[in-house]
Amino acid sequence: MKSFYLICSILFVLNIYSQSDFNSENFIVTRSELETISYKKDSTANALVIYEYGNSYVDNRDFRLKTEVKKKIKIFNKQAFNKATIEIYLYNKGNRSEKVSDIMATTYNIENGLVTKTQLNKNDIIEQVYNENNTIIKFTFPNLKEGSVVNYSYMIDSPFMFKYKGWDFQEDIPKLYSEYNTSIPGNWEYNIRLVGYLKLANMEESIIKTCLEAGNGGKANCINTIYKMKDIPAFIMEDYMTTKENYLSRLEYELKTFKDFRGLTNNYTKTWKTVQTEIKTDKNLGKQLGNNSYAKELINGSTLSETDALKKATEIYKTIQTNYTWNGKFNIWNDVSVKNLVNNNSGKVSEINILLYNLLKSQEFDVTPILLSTRGNGLPTKLYPVISDFNYLILQIKIDGVTYLLDATDRYLAFGQLPFRCLNQYGYLLDFKTYGSWIDLNPPKLTSIHHRIDLKFGDNEVLLGNINATSTGYFALPMKKAYYENEIEYLKNYKEKYQTITFINHNVTSENKTSYKFLEEFDIEYQTENIGGNIYINPFLFKSMEENPFKLQERTYPIDFGYKKAYLYTLKIDLNDNYELVELPEQVNISLPNNKGLLTFTTKVVDNDILLYFKFNFKEPIYSPEYYESLKIFMGTIVDIQKNSLIVLKHK
């Protein structure tokens, strides 16, 4: 009977392993894992996390937070050798610090047909000081080769219950299986957040009675939770995204309250009402908002006498925008001084926009500060106030029922336009009377570019004509900066970029550098190509993009353009009486799902004129990952049309 059970067990194990090249059930390394040379679901992966396990709990003996970690990784090639260097970050504050113990690390290889194991030497574990509050424990696996499988484990001992260990389900290589177990006593209440767009494969919760007992008779129950995620794709950065910290799938913990065994409760997470009260009295922010002592000397008489509210606000805005230079720093929570800004004519974002707030407030405008986090800083959580999430300050002003968002740090911004770095979905309105609210930061206006090209044939099959270009919003902003800072260099760059075009004249007709639109005109010559008596013309003298920015097999995070945008290209070629049409490009009409974008390409001949119309738009500033495949096809079609469209003519 014992032999029968043994045979069944062996067959069961063999059956598990035969279902896959990898054993994602546990920490054990198999020969199959060593022999496998790639991951079928992602053939581009340089490494693969086969199995990952974490367990955090409060030890009943010393009431310290313990975290056990186990991980097994397949190294496919040399590009992934960096995955064999492990860094463990430990937090310390004052005379208390986290400790790591029981570090075990092994490299597995097949050498001369046999499975070999090489253990990490304890002497090769290095400790480094990272900063004032963090130490790094670091080690590298020995005898690493292409095809190796490595596994390691360790235990972290922490006295800091406010820093309950989070868990990263996703990283820059794929994972087969990741599991995190937590046990949280009822004394501690946490805000728990699952970040990212990947879904858990499973989550199980249970209550364990009397998991903690204190010497004075106090005791607590625990909530035990198991989080599991499977077949996790690698996170690969691509165009049109904010910081990866917004999207990496992970668990985060923030201590909300702690109740000791005597019944005393400490609140760690504050309400927005409490936070705004603190901000209002803060010397770096609240105390400087509303200081109107500079108003009289900074606002000129003509602005003060202006009766049109929008014009008056715009003039005050331009006063700050023109006379004060941003020094590249944000600072809203420390070292903020409007006085230093006025004295030096240069300062931080917070100082510039606080001064603007004060001048507008002195003229009784309905103006309110807004806290936000820039695109590179990550999204602030809406679940509870985390002041450190915010790193930027802008303003909201309401004039005649219309709302404008203002930032005076850039001399080329139009009134009501924010810098691109601020387009991070939402911000928090600091209304000290109503305790504020979340507001949308998406620009209300469409950003667009329109090229209107009118050509006719001259001598030697040369096309002559003019181009009218209108750029608005965020398309116009970099062009305004380049042109107004150096006109000669601006045109030189055009000539270098479009070498098939001869630019004869160039004229900018925009009102000024803060106009929402940038208008320019060109007179040009364009040499066609004659092959075997046929004249070939690529109708796209200007292209919106040279290649498809979307190349991933799968994208697990949103496509974030930051703003709605449209591109329009119209072309007219007068054939006169010397040429006739041989071939026109095929027409194309496609749209994104749910009518979230449209691409139209038409060509026709009317009264001996070739007319081409090409337009595409994106009706949303942000698209969820479900749109990625459609967007990839959409972008690919745009590139293909612009690269491969040809008009073919011949002499009559």
Average pLDDT for 159-186 = 96
Please, what is the end-to-end C-alpha distance for the chain in angstroms?
97
Q: Report helix, strand or coil for 71.
A: strand
Backbone angles phi, psi at 622, to 5 degrees: -135, 135
The structure's pTM equals 0.88
Residue 141: pLDDT above 90?
yes
Distance between CA atoms of residues 238 and 255, nearest Å:
34
Domain termination site, one of 440, 470, 503: 440
Whole-number Cα distances in Å, 614 to 21, 276, 452, 498, 637: 50, 50, 11, 20, 12
Lowest-confidence segment of 167-181, 248-262, 628-642 by average pLDDT: 248-262
CATH number at residue 647: 2.60.120.1130
pLDDT for position 5: 41
Residue 216: pLDDT above 90?
no
Residues 511 and 432 in one domain: no
Per DSSP, the residues of 149-171 read: EEEEEEEEEES-GGG---EE---
Residues 465 and 496 in one domain: yes
Q: Report helix, strand or coil for 504.
A: strand
Residue 374 placed within a domain: yes
- Residues with Cβ within 8 Å of 474's Cβ and at least 6 positions away in sequence, in order, are 420, 443, 447, 562, 563, 565
Distance between CA atoms of residues 637 and 597, nearest Å:
13
pLDDT for position 13: 43
- Taking only the tens place, the pLDDT of each residue in 471-516 is 999 999 999 999 999 999 999 998 999 888 999 999 999 989 999 9
- Residues with Cβ within 8 Å of 289's Cβ and at least 6 positions away in sequence, in order, are 354, 357, 358, 369
Q: Report helix, strand or coil for 404.
A: strand
pLDDT for position 19: 40
CATH number at residue 323: 3.10.620.30
| CB burial string 177-197: b at 16+ within 10 A, e below | bbbbbbbbbebbbbebebbbb
Tokens (6 digits) for 251:
């668990």
Residue 315: pLDDT above 90?
yes
Residue 466 placed within a domain: yes
Residue 408: pLDDT above 70?
yes
Residue 14: pLDDT above 60?
no
Half-sphere exposure of 610 (CA within 13 A, CB side): 26
Secondary-structure percent of the chain, ordered helix, strand, coil, rounded to 5: 25, 40, 35
pLDDT for position 287: 87
Residue 253 placed within a domain: no
Whole-number Cα distances in Å, 618 to 445, 595, 599, 621: 13, 10, 9, 7
Residue 564 placed within a domain: yes
- The burial class, CB within 10 Å (0-12 / 13-18 / 19+), for 395 is buried
Distance between CA atoms of residues 251 and 121, nearest Å:
32
Residue 262 placed within a domain: no
Q: How far is CA 569 from the centre of its chain?
A: 30
Lowest-confidence segment of 51-55, 67-71, 296-300, 426-430 by average pLDDT: 296-300
pLDDT for position 20: 62
- Residues with Cβ within 8 Å of 150's Cβ and at least 6 positions away in sequence, in order, are 72, 73, 75, 84, 105, 106, 107, 108, 141, 144
- Taking only the tens place, the pLDDT of each residue in 541-580 is 999 999 999 999 889 999 999 999 999 999 999 998 889 9
> Which of 589, 587, 602, 594 has the alpha carbon at shortest distance from 619?
594
CATH number at residue 192: 2.60.40.3140
Tokens (6 digits) for 52:
């990952």
Residue 281 placed within a domain: yes
Is residue 418 within 8 A of residue 403, CB to CB? The reply is no
What is the residue-averaged pLDDT of the chain?
93
Domain termination site, one of 399, 425, 440: 440
Q: Report helix, strand or coil for 495.
A: helix
Residues 46 and 150 in one domain: yes
Q: In this structure, which amino acid lies at residue 56?
A: S
Residues 364 and 475 in one domain: no
- Taking only the tens place, the pLDDT of each residue in 602-646 is 999 999 999 999 999 999 999 999 999 999 999 999 999 999 999
- Taking only the tens place, the pLDDT of each residue in 325-383 is 999 999 999 999 999 999 999 999 999 999 999 999 999 999 999 999 999 999 999 98
Average pLDDT for 419-437 = 92
Residues 280 and 209 in one domain: no
For residue 291, count other CB atoms closer than 10 A to its CB: 16
pLDDT for position 435: 77
pLDDT for position 341: 94
pLDDT for position 18: 37
Indicate the helix (H) or strand (E) that contains 612. Answer: strand 609-618
- Taking only the tens place, the pLDDT of each residue in 511-529 is 899 999 999 999 999 999 9
pLDDT for position 80: 96
- Residues with Cβ within 8 Å of 265's Cβ and at least 6 positions away in sequence, in order, are 257, 258, 259
Q: Could you tell me which residues are beta bridge partners of residue 432?
A: none
Query: Does 3 or 184 have the greater pLDDT score?
Result: 184
Backbone angles phi, psi at 423, to 5 degrees: -80, 75
Distance between CA atoms of residues 371 and 374, nearest Å:
10
**Domain assignment of residue 417, given as a range:** 272-440
- Taking only the tens place, the pLDDT of each residue in 34-60 is 999 999 999 999 999 999 999 999 998
Domain termination site, one of 417, 440, 463: 440
Distance between CA atoms of residues 453 and 467, nearest Å:
5
Indicate the helix (H) or strand (E) that contains 490. Answer: helix 487-497
Q: 3-state SS of 363-400?
A: CCCEEEEEEECCCCCCCCCCCCCCHHHCCEEEEEEEEC
Q: Residues 261, 263, 267, 268: what is their CA dihedral angle, to the nearest 10 degrees?
A: 0
- pLDDT band of residue 2 (cuts 50, 70, 90) is very low
Q: Domain count for the chain, please give it.
A: 3
Is residue 589 within 8 A of residue 599, CB to CB? The reply is yes
Distance between CA atoms of residues 181 and 8, nearest Å:
30
Distance between CA atoms of residues 25 and 12, nearest Å:
13
- The burial class, CB within 10 Å (0-12 / 13-18 / 19+), for 477 is buried
Residues 317 and 399 in one domain: yes
Distance between CA atoms of residues 296 and 197, nearest Å:
52
Average pLDDT for 214-234 = 92
Residue 249 placed within a domain: no
> Which of 466, 508, 511 has the alpha carbon at shortest distance from 491?
508
> Which of 541, 546, 551, 550 has the alpha carbon at shortest distance from 573?
541
Residues 351 and 433 in one domain: yes
Residues 428 and 451 in one domain: no
Distance between CA atoms of residues 94 and 425, nearest Å:
38
Residue 275: pLDDT above 80?
yes
Residues 628 and 573 in one domain: yes
- Taking only the tens place, the pLDDT of each residue in 78-99 is 999 999 999 999 999 999 999 9
Strands in 112-148 per DSSP E: 114-119, 126-131, 134-140
- pLDDT band of residue 16 (cuts 50, 70, 90) is very low
Distance between CA atoms of residues 379 and 389, nearest Å:
7
Residues 507 and 590 in one domain: yes
- The burial class, CB within 10 Å (0-12 / 13-18 / 19+), for 59 is exposed
Residue 522 placed within a domain: yes
Residues 224 and 318 in one domain: no
**What does DSSP say about strands 462-472 and 447-457: parallel, antiparallel, or unpaired?**
antiparallel
The alpha-carbon radius of gyration of the chain (Å, integer) is 32
Residue with the two structure tokens 């709605």: 564
pLDDT for position 271: 87
Q: Residues 151, 156, 162, 168: what is their CA dihedral angle, to the nearest 10 degrees?
A: 0
Residues 496 and 617 in one domain: yes
Q: Could you tell me which residues are beta bridge partners of residue 347?
A: 326
